[in-house]
A and B are shown apart, each in its own frame.
Chain A
């Protein structure tokens, strides 16, 4: 066995003394402090004992314990207890004491830091009246504790008071087989100073209380930063900012059509991932792209940036075509219907697009074909033949989701043509076992079809150069960089850009005239065409990388298409396109402890949020509070209620309401005269610091982190009011009344500041606050200019408006009811039962029967369930026979009616039915 130690390292006294006491033979090696002896630890740790098996012991206590056991002495419970106490309680205090004594020359403080621990030892030793800690003979506990206390107890300069039993024990161990000389050797005979070079390399120990701090897995907003020390300079600067004038110069609040890049301004083009048209977005989709982008764009406008925010629905592709076929509508009708659904949801969430367009437009065809031809002319497109499944009956190739069969990996019988729902692996449709056309259920044949590929390998170099630039100058979230790098690391392969479908942008090349562009070539071009539908001068945004900064918002699954595939299309087109400068990708938001699932009816979807009766602003607040920024997070009803009640109601709302109420009640609605004292200046500095942090974080699109600083300010404010008790002082003498005035005036200005900072998050509440305070609109620019300034925008004499509470409590029973409603169990029935025939096609009708029946008429429900199943069969059969459309439509209507009756029989409201139906 080999023991590695280093000179001047106090931890090494333990094993060396244990070797002396036990007499175990081990070869001792002296190494430098920086030597990494234990290979798997990420910092050098000494002492370390190499065991015969090749494993390392790196804990000095465990090494001692081991040496005693080798000698035949097992560790008792009592011995374990002392060793654990030493490691968890004494060591942190000891590190602090040694740090103070060795590096800070504060030897006099050592006894204060250690007195509690020394008393524990003294009491234990004197009470049991035994020579050693665990009894009559020496144990690992004695050696370990003696060795760890040696540096301080042997130093006479560190007065340790009258602890007789402790002293007797200490001397007793010291006298054993050369313990003392070993210890002296480690300290090189220089006492505490012998440890100096070792101590200098150690991290500064925190006071032992710090270990009581809660673990860091709580939300960032819950960790307070109250101990920040405010310097004199900060206070002076804060007072200076406070007395600044309102900035009336710019009125960028009004947006004039069309917004175009302007010379000398920061021109920002902002997009959020285009939601696919026939899915109703769930909360995860909303926070992942449109809401995050909305907060940032609102913030950007307040900062005075010249900003254009565009988004729209992504409408082409197989899923739309499938849906249209099943519903007996044209794809365009499907798109029209769902585009309106999307628009309504985003409107309710107050997503302030400059333009919300769609991809099925003339401009889309024009621009996509233009890019295609430019790529073609420049030799960036390859031709290749692909084997594909073709249904002879339906006369078409079965792309992606038009085919189902057995998964070649896991044998799941209902795998789709592009991916298996069970094992999640990607599938090439021709690999499916027993493939079936999804429409007519017949077996397709394999046919080869000619396709075009974007030659990504040819563009790889140029892409990498551009990415290097963009990574280093822009704000890319860590996951965006990581995902992009992993794609590049694996090497790029040519990517197919055409599909054998009808519903898409037609490929203009005569050799490919029956094909359309694959949705991922086509969809990002939607950003351009949507802008083109907003203004004819769209090229000022999209062909202007010199002037324009492009931000893309999305969830992480969309990253490769925005960072690799689409930039390659634009680079290859060589038309001076604006490429993404900042790519902001969120992680995933889960629902309670599971995933959002449309088919299982789990989670809250965009159109249901409204029905909960909880205001849009509160939804926004909570989603942003749990924004999956940097890591996955979860939506939880209980947590939403908690955050509403604790943060919005008790913290933020309470502060703002109190501040304004004091003005109304005590000062006839006029802001009182403020005479700042030291305490007020300190508060101004603290608030100013929070504001600056907020701005720095928001500039970097750290939306969730920035929110924490808003809540910190109102916490400061509540504390300030609580300490200064203006409601008491107002009833006292003149000086106290004056003080109450100052505190009220500062507080109401903080309320105004908060309303400005809240604006991107909760636009309605923010406006309500400013209305209540009668605040001048120019306060927004004044506060958010530059690095941020807490300015006194409501000066003495300003009249505020009428004040009312901002938030309402969310009651436990209300939340419990909502949780049940969206929990996924009984929810299955309205979801499924209300589904259109299309759902009946993909779901076995048995599903309807398992749905639990609550209330209503169970017997009737049973009959109706049967009827629905039969009618569903009938519709399916008609479709399979390609019956006349009018016939099918009539039968579908019957089916829908039956489902509605079923809902009533089940005791549920039938209203959701048409609305849910729309989502399909």
Chain B
């Protein structure tokens, strides 16, 4: 799973030569094998490395503050969304929904690699939502729909249909 995310990220970044990856342990933690024999372990670490390799530092955030915010959501992604439990789902969606209330992207007004990885991570949750729940987490849904249509991001994941009109308001009397 993580490997497919990384390969999608590579494509998004336009990296010509695909890197070699393996995984480690039961949790299938991704490991990047570089040509000089060193390894990098962990989705977040590798993702940041790829961004630097592609010379797209703005995707990590264009200021100290934004870089910190991007890192924070990357960390949230790997700590909360890998191996979440059923009870977590609601909390995660609530957190994100409130956070995204006044934001276009996770860190504010600019797309960062955190949006891409959070999108990959949150996809299985969103797929499982009913239309009603999607309306409940409207900010997440809006952000999600935006990211899945963000050029070059979606790659390996199926498109999730998001309705534009709300059906649970009962306006159809």
Contacts and interface: CB of A to CB of B under 8 A. Distances in A.
A560 B84 CA distance: 35
Interface in B69-121: 69, 71-72, 75-76, 78-79, 82-86, 89, 91, 94-95, 98-99, 101, 108
A85 B25 CA distance: 13
Interface stretch (A36-44, A606-614, A859-867): A36-44
B45 A587 contact: no
A217 B170 contact: no
Nearest to B41: A81
A560 B168 CA distance: 11
Given A80-B45, A216-B84, A631-B129, A59 B169 contact: no
Given A53-B108, A80-B45, 6 more contacts: A55-B108, A57-B72, A84-B43, A88-B78, A216-B85, A217-B127
Interface of B: 26-27, 29, 40-45, 48-49, 52, 64-65, 67-69, 71-72, 75-76, 78-79, 82-86, 89, 91, 94-95, 98-99, 101, 108, 124-125, 127-133, 158, 165, 168-173
Contact of A593 (B64, B95, B158): B158
A121 interface: no
A482 B169 CA distance: 10
A728 to B, nearest CB: 33
A884 interface: no
Contact of A486 (B41, B84, B125, B168): B168
A192 interface: no
Nearest to A41: B95
A596 to B, nearest CB: 14
Nearest to B101: A40
Given A88-B78, A482-B168, A560-B170, A212 B83 contact: yes
Q: Output the residue of A51, A84, A560, A631 with the most chain B CB within 10 A.
A: A84
A266 B169 CA distance: 36
A211 interface: yes
A559 B128 CA distance: 22
Given A80-B44, A212-B27, A483-B170, A43 B91 contact: yes
Contacts of A215: 83-84, 124
Nearest to A419: B172
A30 interface: no
B55 to A, nearest CB: 15
A65 B168 contact: no
A355 interface: no
A88 B41 contact: no
Contacts of A62: 68, 71-72, 75
A191 B19 CA distance: 46
Contact of B170 (A53, A59, A486, A630): A486
Given A40-B98, A216-B89, A88 B165 contact: no
A85 B44 CA distance: 10
Interface in A63-88: 63, 65-66, 69-70, 75, 77, 80-81, 83-85, 87-88
B82 A487 contact: no
B26 A212 contact: yes
A148 to B, nearest CB: 13
A65 B84 contact: no
A42 B95 CA distance: 6
Contacts of A39: 98
A382 interface: no
A57 B94 contact: no
Interface string A77-115: 100110111011001000000000000000000000000
A490 B132 contact: no
Main secondary structure of the interface of B (DSSP, over half): helix
Contact of A59 (B43, B76, B84, B94): B76
Interface in A457-509: 479, 482-483, 486-487, 489-490, 492-493, 495
Contacts of B173: 487, 490, 492-493, 495
Contact of A65 (B68, B91, B132): B68
A200 B72 CA distance: 26
A482 B75 contact: no
Contacts of A83: 75
A100 to B, nearest CB: 21
A211 B78 contact: no
A712 interface: no
B123 to A, nearest CB: 10
B48 A77 contact: yes
A84 B44 contact: yes
A262 to B, nearest CB: 39
A667 interface: no
Contacts of B64: 66, 69-70
Given A55-B65, A77-B40, A80-B48, A490 B169 contact: yes
A270 to B, nearest CB: 25
Contact of B69 (A55, A80, A493): A55
Contact of A69 (B42, B44, B68): B68
A59 B158 contact: no
10 contacts: A58-B72, A59-B71, A77-B52, A211-B82, A215-B83, A217-B124, A483-B170, A487-B173, A495-B173, A593-B158
A545 to B, nearest CB: 26
B71 A65 contact: yes
